[in-house]
Structure 1
Amino acid sequence: MHHEFRFHPLRKNLKIINLRFADDLVIFCKANRGSVQIIKQVFEDFCYSTGMKANLSKSQVFFSGISAQDKRQLQLLLELEEGSFPLKYLVVPLRPTKWKAADCGEILKKLKLKLHTWSSRHLSYAGRVQLITSLLVVWGLEKAISHQQEALWVKWVHAVYLKGQNFWQYQLKADASWYWRKICQLREMFSQEEIEKAGSNGRFKVRQLYTGLFQLTPVNYKQFVWNRVSVPKHRFITWLAVNSKLLTRDHLQRVMQLDSSLCPVCDQELESHSHLLFGCYFSQQVVQKIHSWFGCSWPLIYSDWCRWIGGMSKGVRASKVAVVFSATVYFVWHNRNICVVHNYSLSIMTVVELIKNAIKCRLSAFFSDDVVKL
């Protein structure tokens, strides 16, 4: 580092001179002529060597703690307009002080728009999993704070907040930032032992923390339903179907008022898992044609169906059956949703062909070419 360059006072200990974002660069230095001159010279050398030219109209300089006269001199040296706080990045205000309630207005507005639809207000299982995962990653920050000493954010936490203290014994100060306050409050929800158990070699694992919170009961259908050969979205819908967790109308009418509780495909009986997958004439015809085409079959009574899944053995044959089975369940459910949203149903043969094509593509990716000739 050049002897005339001086770090910004808040970044002196960590020797941070810049922060890089997706398409922006923030450079910090002490507000004196020597430091500013060095930064300007380095920037000009970079532009000259790369052939790139800085767009000064999109760049700004920010000052703090200096006189108006010094500010004017440095501004003339840099040939940049003075910016004003709060500086915004991706609609989020970046202040030198704590956030204000008004700063979160744009974020809250976007969140409300996302939560406005019925489907967003009632998160799917996939949505809940994503939400839980995101929160658990935050709970794992203690592992990062303790072990990942080379990360810039961790260095900042140690330099500004912890200052040699243990995270679990640290006393939260009144002037702590919002994000740090929230992280520290998570200590009330989890013990140090629980966090430590949720990882190894300094690496936090969401799965270990989550599974450690519950007494899990093994299920015998795991291997068949979550078979890696099956299409991921087919596996997920099959898992919901096996556990009777699809949003069929018999479930929905318990929490909301419906215009009709009848099956949207046949419009004859109350829609339930048993009816949709086995009792509906449409589903019966689709399943029978798939049975005949592939040369395998499964029970057509819901309780027997679930037991059959749990009794499936491992191996290549079981994997192929799992692909056929999950694709059939998925496209029966897919057609049901078309009926709900668009008020019409695909033909039986159209659904059968969709299932066949999905099966052929998936099996050909994992097995020999003769599978495609099914």
Structure 2
Amino acid sequence: MDSFSELLKSKAAVGDFDFHRGCREIGVVNISFADDLSILCRANEKSLKTVKRMLAMFGDCSGLKPNLAKSTCYFAGIVDKEEVRLSNIVGIPISALPVRYLGIPLTTKQISGHDCRVLVDRVRNRIEGWGCKHLSFAGWVTLINSMLFGVCNYWCQTTIIPIQTIKAIEKLMKQYLWKGAIVGKFIPKVSWKQATLRKMEGGLGIKDLKTWNMACMAKHIWDICSRKEALWVKWINTIRLKGVSFWGVKERSIDSWVWRKLLMLRDTIKPHEEYKGER
């Protein structure tokens, strides 16, 4: 979609297209993943008419035409009546956040336990589908470490999971660990804190989801500080930090909850930071 991106940028240069807020500095007009395309622009008539015209032009040249019936428009900061008018210009129906993409809820607000209910259900369905009541205790531990943790790992690396969701998942894991099923009462042999210790420390090697989620978020901080070659890292350093160190930037009331959570991790991560190399 590089050619499509260049078409929109050329229209922006002559005033026929307005960048979305925070996108002009790094020249972002679209984000592509597999066969999905997200187009970012200012919510005004000239920009949307240009997008519609460029999509038609790109389709005529490449044969790749969007399915408008399966596409959606997302607006912010404008009244409902204006949303309808602009949606009619491009012929794409209006939708609203939160929306689920690649299994993860996308929202401008803090992800709630309700948004993550699908993750809890997925863990429960995985356990209920196992015909393994005759496995040994070591087999149950192996399934938790491999299968159940694998279900949660993608979410842990992508977003900050609410604590109530983590507790719900850990309850299912506890039931399965000590009973081999998720129905009926169970009596834990040791505390869950002890079970999540490494084997060399006397535990079962089951990862603590809250700690693992925090570690995955810390990996994002590493990417920001090391300026990894990624679009969102470039956006953070250019738009959010603006030359200020991640360790010194101040939290603002208008910051998103995810960004505030990352800033809150600084006190935990800072003592473990060490710089190696030439000053």
TM-score of the aligned structures, taking structure 2 as reference length: 0.57
State whether structure 2 residue 129 is matched by structure 1 residue 107. Answer: no
Counterparts of 1:259-278 in structure 2 under 5 Å?
none
Residue 190 of structure 1 aligns to a residue whose secondary structure is helix
Give, in angstroms, the shift of residue 115 of structure 1: 7.0
> For residues 160 and 111 of structure 1, what CA distance do their matches in structure 2 show?
38
Residue 54 of structure 1 aligns to a residue whose secondary structure is coil
State whether structure 2 residue 156 is matched by structure 1 residue 119. Answer: no
Amino acid in the other structure paired with 2:53: Q
What does residue 50 of structure 1 align with?
62
Q: Alignment partner for residue 230 of structure 2, among 151, 154, 167?
A: 151
What does residue 52 of structure 2 align with?
40
Residue 37 of structure 1 aligns to a residue whose secondary structure is helix
User: Over alpha carbons, which structure has the higher Rg?
Assistant: 1
Give, in angstroms, the shift of residue 47 of structure 1: 1.2
Q: Deviations over 1:252-298 (max 9, x none)?
A: xxxxxxxxxxxxxxxxxxxxxxxxxxxxxxxxxxxxxxxxxxxxxxx
Distance 1:143 1:91, change over 3 A: closer
State whether structure 2 residue 221 is matched by structure 1 residue 167. Answer: no
Contact in 2 for aligned 1:143/1:196 (Cα 8 Å)? no
State whether structure 2 residue 257 is matched by structure 1 residue 194. Answer: no
> For residues 250 and 84 of structure 2, what CA distance do their matches in structure 1 show?
42
Residue 19 of structure 2 aligns to a residue whose secondary structure is coil
Residue 123 of structure 1 aligns to a residue whose secondary structure is helix
Give, in angstroms, the shift of residue 14 of structure 1: 3.4
Instruction: Report the aligned-residue RMSD.
Output: 3.6
Amino acid in the other structure paired with 2:38: V
Amino acid in the other structure paired with 1:18: N
Q: How many equivalent residue pairs?
A: 198
State whether structure 2 residue 38 is matched by structure 1 residue 26. Answer: yes
Contact in 1 for aligned 2:30/2:40 (Cα 8 Å)? yes
Distance 1:14 1:91, change over 3 A: same
What does residue 194 of structure 2 align with?
none
Amino acid in the other structure paired with 1:119: V
Give, in angstroms, the shift of residue 84 of structure 1: 2.4
> For residues 152 and 194 of structure 1, what CA distance do their matches in structure 2 show?
24
Distance 1:133 1:96, change over 3 A: closer
Unaligned runs of 5+ residues in structure 2 are 1-9, 131-139, 147-198, 200-204
Give, in angstroms, the shift of residue 137 of structure 1: 6.1
Q: Alignment partner for residue 70 of structure 1, among 82, 89, 92?
A: 82
> For residues 186 and 115 of structure 1, what CA distance do their matches in structure 2 show?
33
Distance 1:84 1:167, change over 3 A: closer
Give, in angstroms, the shift of residue 170 of structure 1: 2.9
> For residues 62 and 134 of structure 1, what CA distance do their matches in structure 2 show?
29
Distance 1:182 1:70, change over 3 A: closer
What does residue 102 of structure 2 align with?
90
Q: Alignment partner for residue 6 of structure 1, among 18, 30, 34?
A: 18
Give, in angstroms, the shift of residue 89 of structure 1: 0.7
Distance 1:11 1:107, change over 3 A: farther
Contact in 1 for aligned 2:110/2:258 (Cα 8 Å)? no
Give, in angstroms, the shift of residue 85 of structure 1: 2.2
> For residues 76 and 273 of structure 2, what CA distance do their matches in structure 1 show?
43
Contact in 1 for aligned 2:110/2:257 (Cα 8 Å)? yes
Contact in 2 for aligned 1:60/1:83 (Cα 8 Å)? yes
Amino acid in the other structure paired with 1:123: N
Residue 15 of structure 1 aligns to a residue whose secondary structure is coil
Distance 1:165 1:53, change over 3 A: closer
> For residues 79 and 8 of structure 1, what CA distance do their matches in structure 2 show?
20
Q: Deviations over 1:40-82 (max 9, x none)?
A: 1111112111223322211112222234443333222211211
Distance 1:175 1:115, change over 3 A: farther
Q: Deviations over 1:138-161 (max 9, x none)?
A: 534444323327532112223454
Residue 96 of structure 2 aligns to a residue whose secondary structure is coil
Unaligned runs of 5+ residues in structure 1 are 202-374
Contact in 1 for aligned 2:55/2:65 (Cα 8 Å)? no
Residue 80 of structure 1 aligns to a residue whose secondary structure is coil
What does residue 345 of structure 1 align with?
none
Q: Which of the pair has the greater relative contact order for Cα pairs under 8 Å at 6+ separation?
A: 2
Give, in angstroms, the shift of residue 36 of structure 1: 0.8
Contact in 2 for aligned 1:61/1:80 (Cα 8 Å)? yes
Amino acid in the other structure paired with 1:191: K
